[in-house]
């Protein structure tokens, strides 16, 4: 039986979300740190369907969000250096606190339209 990692990441959005080249998904990153002298882990979040529309319209850099979904570790090589990134294929995104310019955002994202999900 194949398994999947799922979870929730809560944190401040590092920069304004961007629509992916496929036009159906929106992506953004959340840095997660366990303390001042600890390394920061960057989680790349991708969201689809109506939730992507919500994120694109209301979420901005500095907003605190909770993103839940399937977590995947991706390994890569760049300039001869191997690395890894955590990616979250979000099924829901909730706005917990807005950045100053997004005060009119609704508190909860709409339910995802599962017909747009890639899996």
Domains in the chain, number: 1
pLDDT digits (tens, 9 = 90+) for 8-42: 999 999 999 999 988 889 999 999 888 888 888 88
Q: Which domain holds residue 100?
A: 5-105
Whether residue 58 is contained in a domain is answered as yes
- d(Cα 51, Cα 67) in Å, to the nearest integer? 10
Whether residue 76 is contained in a domain is answered as yes
pTM of the model: 0.74
- d(Cα 55, Cα 48) in Å, to the nearest integer? 9
Beta strands in the chain (DSSP E): 5-12, 18-19, 25-33, 40-48, 64-78, 81-97
Whether residue 110 is contained in a domain is answered as no
CA Rg value for the chain:
15
Whether residue 118 is contained in a domain is answered as no
Give residue 21's pLDDT. 84
Q: Assign residue 81 the CATH number of its domain.
A: 2.40.50.140
Whether residue 75 is contained in a domain is answered as yes
Whether residue 94 is contained in a domain is answered as yes
């Amino acid at each position: 039986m194949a398994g999947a990692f799922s979870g929730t990441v809560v944190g401040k959005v590092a920069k304004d979300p961007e629509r992916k080249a496929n036009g159906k998904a929106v992506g953004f990153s959340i840095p997660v740190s366990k303390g001042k002298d600890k390394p920061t882990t960057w989680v790349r979040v991708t969201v689809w369907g109506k939730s992507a529309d919500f994120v694109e319209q209301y979420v901005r850099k500095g907003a605190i969000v909770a993103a839940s979904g399937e977590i995947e570790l991706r390994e890569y090589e760049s300039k001869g250096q191997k690395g890894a990134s955590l990616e979250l294929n979000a099924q829901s995104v909730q706005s917990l606190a807005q950045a100053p310019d997004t005060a009119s955002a609704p508190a909860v994202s709409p339910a995802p339209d599962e017909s747009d999900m890639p899996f």
